[in-house]
Structure 1
Amino acid sequence: MRFTPSPEQRQFAASLHDLLSGADTPGAVRAWAEGRPEPGLKLWRDLADLGVTALRVPEECDGLGAGLTDLVIAFEVLGYHAVPGPLAESVAVAPALLGDGERLRALAAGRLLATVALPPHVPYALDADVAGLVLLVENGAVYRGEPETEPVRSVDAARRLFRVAGTGGALGATDGSAFEAGVLAVAAELLGAGQRLLDEAAAYARQRHQYGRPIGSYQALKHLLADVVTRLELARPLVHGAAVTATARDVSAAKAAAGEAAYLAARAALQVHGAIGYTAEHHLGLWLTRVRALTGAWGGGAYHRARVLAGA
């Protein structure tokens, strides 16, 4: 199974990268963590203008009707820039759960952010205090959710998690495809975050000098970063392949591999940066905590490895 991005997909990824490179994304993440979502919401409106929020919305509801391959292309870039907010929930999952055309149009246009809880593997709704629509999926049915007032603390301060209770009757039924789309989106996001950590570590290794030499010239660091490159390059085709097959086994393999590769990238980046990487002021921490949170989000490594074995 091979998936090679088309010229259009490459151009879309480049446009998205250019947009986010020109924005103060770290500033938006810090503001989001402090309970000031306005900069992040401005970023979401810019993403909507590029069509990101419309990717999985059907064309008849003013969306793009894009496939999972387009989704992973976009989410790699979103993870690379650590965009705040309920990305997987709003862009990948909610469109598969909603039959309401008006809400789907609002999602596509970026006027509405949605978040989702799917117990047991997604027990909390991310950023339910910012999202205009909170959904709860239980026993194959979709309900409107009501979040608790106080969030559950996450290792990533920009990820505000809320317990959710269902309200009223079911809005509809769902199969497992919404969950698989969410897992795949998070896997692609991890892949992008891991690549960003690798790039940050490589850049720092070139500019930081010890004993009159850049630290990147030392063999130990070369081997360390080479291991990260290898793991990311092995994970990438699994993520892209899962976007083609969309089977539970392949999606789980992608999530497990991407999580392990990104976690290795985080450890390596922290080793390369040394003590400065621990400081709250350094932006490296935004990706370190994001990777730590996402490796356990939408099912941890043990769960996904077990699904791979069960499907072998």
Structure 2
Amino acid sequence: MRFTLSSEQRQFAASIGELLAAADVPTAVYAWGDGNHGPGLKIWRSLADLGVTGLVVPSRFGGLDATPVDLAVAFERLGYHAVPGPWVESAAAVPALLGETEAAERLLPGIAEGEVLASVVLPPHVPYGLDADVAGCRILAHGGTVREFTAGAVMSSVDKARRLFPASPGPVVATGTDVGRALDSAALAIAAQLVGAGRWLLDTSVAYAKQRSQYGKPIGQYQAVKHLLADIATRLELATPLVHGAAVTLAGGPAPRDVSAARVAAADAAYLAARTALQVHGAIGYAEEHPLGLWLTKVRALVAAWGTQSFHRGRVLAAVAA
């Protein structure tokens, strides 16, 4: 299969990138972690105007009826800029989870417009609700049954911008839902985010290696540093087509093997990018004031979000063995 992004998809990605580059996302991330959602919600509404929140929402609910490929394109940009908020839950998981149910008629229009944020709990892979304090749609899905949930006290995360909440089950809002489709859609979005975050870490490390000097010349001229950065670039270049290929497969039906393979490759690449970026930056990378930490902690959190690496490797193994 030969696959390349269309000109429209490239323009869409560029539009998202331009918006976020001018939005001072790091300030919004710090504020979000402190419980001040104002700056982050402003970015949310701007991205909603571009159609990001309604990409895979059916058109009859106010969405764009776009494909999982479009979703992956958007989430790569979101990951590159480390945008805060429950994007995976709102833009990827809930539309797939609710489908054409009666609950979808009530909840999806607000999500598509960017007026409603969603928090999702899907045991055992998603045990806590992300950003439930700011979410107008709180959903707990288990065994095809979808319930509302009440959020408990906020819990800490390795990523301070990911505010987690325990969930107490509430009234049933839908039954017979496709939990597997929701898991695959969310895992694909996570994989795309990880690829985007990995690319930011690579770009930032390359730029810093050109500036930082040791023994009279930039460290980027040393062969050892070049090899470290080349390894990241190779991993990301291998992971990206897997993500796009999984998106194409998911557009045609169930794709647990392809989605999990993409998720594993993207997580491994981003994690290597995070470790290498810290090594290249040296002591300054540990400073809380340096923006590098925002991407390091986000990658660490996303690697275990919507299914662990072990779970996704297990799905690939099961598919191959079958």
Question: When the two structures are superposed, what TM-score results if normalisation uses the length of structure 2?
Answer: 0.95
Say yes or no: does 1:160 pair with 2:160. no
Larger mean CA deviation between 258-267 and 168-177 belongs to 168-177
C-alpha contact (below 8 Å) 1:146/1:165 kept by paired residues: yes
- How far did 1:105 drift? 1.1
Size of the alignment, in residue pairs? 311
SS at match of 1:296: coil
2:56 is equivalent to residue 53 of structure 1: no
User: CA–CA distance in 2 between the matches of 1:103 and 1:152?
Assistant: 26
Q: Structure 1: how far apart are the matches of 2:269 and 2:95? A: 29
Deviation (angstroms), 1:132: 0.9
Maintained 8 Å contact 1:2/1:241? no
Unaligned runs of 5+ in 2: none
User: Where do residues 123-272 of structure 1 align in structure 2 (5 Å cutoff)?
Assistant: 123-148=127-152, 150-175=153-178, 176-246=180-250, 247-272=255-280
Aligned partner of 2:116: which letter?
L
Deviation at 1:102?
3.7
Deviations 1:47-101 (A, max 9, x none): 0011100101111111101110000000000000000000100000111233332
Unaligned runs of 5+ in 1: none
Amino acid at match of 2:231: D
How far is the alpha carbon of 1:250 from its aligned partner? 0.5
**For the aligned residues, what is the CA RMSD?**
0.9
Q: Which amino acid aligns with 2:50?
A: L
What is the deviation of 1:119? Answer: 0.3
Counterparts of 2:154 and 2:56 in 1: how far apart (Å)?
28
Q: Which residue does the alignment assign to 2:82?
A: 82
Paired residues of 1:55 and 1:66 also in contact (CA < 8 A): yes
Range moving further from structure 2, 62-71 or 94-103: 94-103
CA distance in 2, matches of 1:203, 1:87: 29
Any idea what SS the aligned residue of 2:149 has? strand
- Alpha-carbon distance, 1:165 to partner: 1.8
Offset of residue 3 of structure 1: 2.6
Q: Which whole-Å CA distance do the structure 2 matches of 1:131 and 1:256 have between them?
A: 29
The normalised TM-score by structure 1 is: 0.98
Which of 293, 299, 307 is equivalent to 1:299?
307
Distance (whole Å) between structure 2 residues aligned to residue 144 and residue 3 of structure 1: 40
Aligned-pair identity in percent equals 61
Q: CA deviation at 1:173?
A: 2.4
CA distance in 2, matches of 1:139, 1:205: 50
1:100-140 alpha-carbon deviations (Å, 9 max, x no partner): 32421111110100111100011111110111111000111
After TM superposition, give the deviation of residue 146 of structure 1 in Å: 1.1
What is the one-letter code of the residue matched to 1:301? Q
Q: Does the CA-based 8 Å contact 2:55-2:64 persist in structure 1? A: yes
Aligned-pair distance for 1:170? 4.0
